[in-house]
Structure formats: structure tokens, C-alpha cells
Chains A and B, each alone.
Chain A
């Protein structure tokens, strides 16, 4: 493995605000995505709102990209961020699948 310096560049003074805001929005948008998905599945929201949920996941991905590039992350961290984003995409599907399974087995 080639040893790569993790922190080479200073963060530009005007970039701090964008980094903090986009990093916060990562979880806010991510929460919206998961929330909308769950709400549609339990019938609190209409079915057509689902694409909106996936739209929020895309925004999450964009915020991660923005945050990562302004922080000058190295390759390893960039990969970790992509894994986290995909994990978030799959998370509610897995949760719902399992919840549904258990309810089916126990209530019918």
C-alpha cells in the first residue's frame, strides 16, 4: 500500500461553513429518506411520496461529496464515505424486510 498523507492541504477559510452545513445536512437528508421510506411502508404517507424519499438520498450523497471534496479527503476516506452512503440506502429496506417477516410469523 502506498502511504498517502491524509492531511496535506489546509482547509480554505471560506469553506468551513459549507463543510459544517453540508455535513449536518447529510444526516438530516438521510433521516428524511429513511423517515419517508418508513412512513410510506406503514401507511402514514401516500405511495407517490416514495420517489421524494429517494430524492433525499441523492441529496445526502451530494452533501457527502461536497463535504468530502472541501475537506480534501484521501482515497481511503472517500471509499468509506461511499460505503456509508450505500449502507444508508440499504438500511431501511433491510429493516422493513425483517420487521415484516417477524410480524408475519407472529401474527398470522
Chain B
């Protein structure tokens, strides 16, 4: 592009990552719409792109775009934090293309081959058939190689340049993030052992290492966008790490209630799940506190202008704090105790929680990072929102919240009819699905999914055009 203000290769590479992440984000929403349509019209694309295929791409695209955006975020903040160009940037670029190529091949195989015979070749080359970790074994190994290269870059840069608190947390967190993935790569004929390790990856990612990752990103955002005091922010980051890992690691117990594991996990899961919302509340308050403090200091000097240097990004960062609390906190807490989870496990409640938590905790802040990149790329000092950014933000957030509420209603019907009254049999399941509230919940979920998708299209238009708007301070 003509107006490129990016002075480091690391930030340029970050924009590549963000671009591919945004494309995959679109794919996630598109296949989500296919799956949502199939709930309403079961014949839609039957035996062409079945629900299992649509949903597999929906949740895999989710993971992939977030991992891409997370790697992009690290490449973006590395030069700012360390004060030097990222070490091994050539390797970073090479691995980017390797990763993109691998993802494209995996998705094409998902779509065109879909299923294979019941042997190891399917596990190695088509799909592993384990929710979220469907990527075939060859891709698993590829991902490990790519991530090892990424971690090398992060460590080499962190050790050569100024190793700030944020960088230190990221270095430790990314290593754990990558290491945990190895737990999900094996095959066993014992489904209980299988799910035991499977949860190591899923839970220790989304309820521990990813949360710490967004904590670091939020810390970086507070420093760059509102000029929060680094010492305060970094102290907070350490406290958050302690609270998140302290409650999150053993919070894994709430996934071990019913998979064949011993009963003591009930107590461990209940105790640590009850603690898990506390860091989320703390993070939310911390963002507001710092914002209030900075704005107060500014106004004390007689300046009435806002301290925020990137309005759309900051909006998404605040929505992250709120969405994390709501999606992971409220929607997680009300079905986390074993006494209730016995009835809610495996119903649309889980799906409602999944939608709002993934979106609230992760999608929001990563979209915020997209806006930070647009600001940097266009050399803008203070970036204001456009009409499009406001529409996109409201439609996406409203859409996901609407889907969540609709799925919650549907889940409630399932709990009452299929579980509490009918004991979860085949007949009970379909009785629950036939409930009028369930059916309407699914209709509204589709409607809200379309709202989200339109919001996404506006978001992309905004990301492509906001840099050229005239009302920014340059």
C-alpha cells in the first residue's frame, strides 16, 4: 500500500497474520450459518455439507483465526515492548506461508473428503474426529513446528531486547500454550483416557493460557491506548496470572465430572469453578479503574479531551472485559456445579456458554488488535470511530448476545424435557427438540447469526476504509 507507516518488519508480518485471521473469521461465521440453518431446515445441504462437516469447520476456523490473530498480536507488540526488531523475522514469514498453506489443505480435505474408513490413515490424513482437535495428525505436527518457530522468535527477541513484564508473561504463557497441545495428539481406544487428555488441551487453553494471553494484550492496550502507568498495569498482570492460573488450572475438574473419572473431581471442579469468575470480575474492574484514573488525571490538568488514542479498539477492549465476565463468568457459573451440570451437560446451555465466552473473551480483544494495526499502518495519532465501526460493533455484539440468549432458552427446554423428565434417551432427546421454545430458540439463533454476519461484513469494510477517513488526528 502507498501510505505505509510501519517501520518494522515485525508489524508488517503482524498485518499478514491479521488479514488471514479476518478471512478465516468470515469462514467461521459462514459455516456457523450453515449449521444454524440445518437446525431450522434439516434438509439443507443434507449429504452435501452435513451438520458434522459444517460444525467441524465452524469450530476449527474459530480456533485457527484466533491463533493467527494471537500470533499477529505478539508480532505487533514485540517491537514496541522490546524496543528492537523481531529476531528471526525471515523465519516468521516463511512459517506464516507454511501455516496458511496447511490450513487451506486441511479445510479443503474437510470439505471434499469429509470422512474416511475406520483406520489410522483417516486419523493421519483426513480428520481425527475429536471436537476442536479434528486437524489430522500431519497437520498437528505441522502446527507444532510452526509454533516452535514462533516461540523461538518470541524468546530470541525477548532475550535480546528489553524484556518487559508483558513480554515475560507472554514468553511463559506461549510456551505452556504450545506444550499443552501435545497432550491432544495421541490415539487411544479408551474414550475416558482420550477425553481426559483432550480436556487438557481445550480447558487449559481457553480457561488458562488464552485468558492469560488476553490479560497481557489488555495490559499492552491500556498502556498504548490510554497511557496507563506501566508499573501499575504490569503489577496487575502478575496478579491476574496468579488468579487465572490459580483457579483455572484445577478448574479443569468441572470437565471431569462425567467422563469416567473418579468422584473426587466433583469437589475439585466445584471449588475451583466457584473461584474462576473472581479474576474475570477483577479484570473488568481493573480496566475501568485505570481508565477513570487516567481520564481524571487529564481533566485535573484542565484538558477536556479523551485520553483514548484509538476509540474503536478501546471500545472492543472494554467489550472484552464485559464479554469475558458475562460469557465465561455468568454463563459459565450457572451450570458449573455438578448437581446442576448433571442435567445441563451436553445441552444447548454449553453451546450458549461457548458462543458468548469465545466471543466475549477472545474475539473482542482480537478485533481490537485489528483496529490497533489499522491505526499503526496509517500513521494515525488519535483514531476516532466511524459510523461503520459503531454499526459493526453493535451488530456483532448484539448478534452474539442474541444467539446466546436464544440458545439458553433452547437449552432450558432440553434440561427440563429431555433430561429432568425423560432421562436423556433417544425419545427424550427428540421430545426436547420438538418443544416450541426450543424450535423458536433455534429460529432466533439463526436470525441473530445473520445479524452477526452482516455486522462482520460492515466490520471488514470499516477496517479497510477507516484508515483513510479524514477526522482522525494524524
Chain A positions near chain B (C-beta within 8 angstroms): 6-7, 10-11, 13, 16-17, 19-20, 23-24, 26-28, 30-31, 34-35, 38-39, 42-44, 71-73, 76-77, 80-81, 83-84, 87-88, 91-92, 95, 98-99, 102-103, 106-107
Contact = CB atoms under 8 A, between A and B. Distances in A.
Contacts of A71: 337, 339-340
Contacts of A91: 278, 281-282
Contacts of A106: 229, 231-232
B339 A73 contact: yes
A99 B416 CA distance: 46
Nearest to B232: A102
B457 to A, nearest CB: 32
Interface of B: 229, 231-232, 235, 239, 263, 266-267, 270-271, 274-275, 277-278, 281-282, 284-286, 288-289, 292-293, 296, 325, 329-330, 333-335, 337-340, 342-343, 412, 415-416, 420-421
Contact of A73 (B292, B296, B337, B420): B337
A42 B340 contact: no
Given A28-B330, A34-B281, A99-B289, A6 B339 contact: yes
Contacts, number: 116
A38 B288 contact: yes
Contacts of A31: 281, 284, 325
Nearest to A17: B412
Nearest to B331: A24
A63 to B, nearest CB: 11
B333 A27 contact: yes
B340 A103 contact: no
Given A6-B339, A13-B420, A102-B235, A95 B282 contact: yes
Nearest to B277: A27
A29 B9 CA distance: 47
A2 B135 CA distance: 46
Closest 8 CB pairs of A and B: A23-B334, A71-B339, A42-B292, A84-B274, A80-B271, A27-B330, A38-B285, A102-B232
Nearest to A20: B334
Interface centre among A13, A27, A43 (most CB of B within 10 A): A27
Nearest to A87: B278
Interface centre among B231, B270, B282, B337 (most CB of A within 10 A): B337
6 contacts: A20-B412, A24-B333, A76-B270, A80-B270, A84-B274, A84-B275
A77 B270 contact: yes
A42 B289 contact: yes
B232 A81 contact: no
B415 to A, nearest CB: 6
A39 B284 CA distance: 12
Given A6-B339, A13-B421, A24 B281 contact: no
Contacts of B232: 99, 102-103, 106
Contacts of B270: 73, 76-77, 80
Nearest to A79: B271
B345 to A, nearest CB: 13
Contacts of B340: 11, 19-20, 23, 71
B235 A98 contact: yes
Contacts of B330: 24, 27-28
B285 A35 contact: yes
A7 B337 CA distance: 11
B342 A7 contact: yes
Given A44-B292, A103-B229, A87 B275 contact: yes
A17 B338 CA distance: 16
A27 B267 contact: no
A19 B337 CA distance: 11
A31 B263 CA distance: 32
Contacts of B329: 27
Contacts of B325: 27, 31
Given A24-B334, A27-B333, A91-B281, A6 B412 contact: no
Contacts of A39: 288, 292
B113 to A, nearest CB: 42
Contact of A26 (B263, B285, B333): B333
A6 B265 CA distance: 11
Nearest to B285: A38
A102 B231 contact: yes
Contacts of A23: 333-335, 340
Contacts of B335: 20, 23
A80 B247 CA distance: 13
A88 B421 CA distance: 36
A83 B267 CA distance: 14
A103 B293 contact: yes
A55 to B, nearest CB: 17
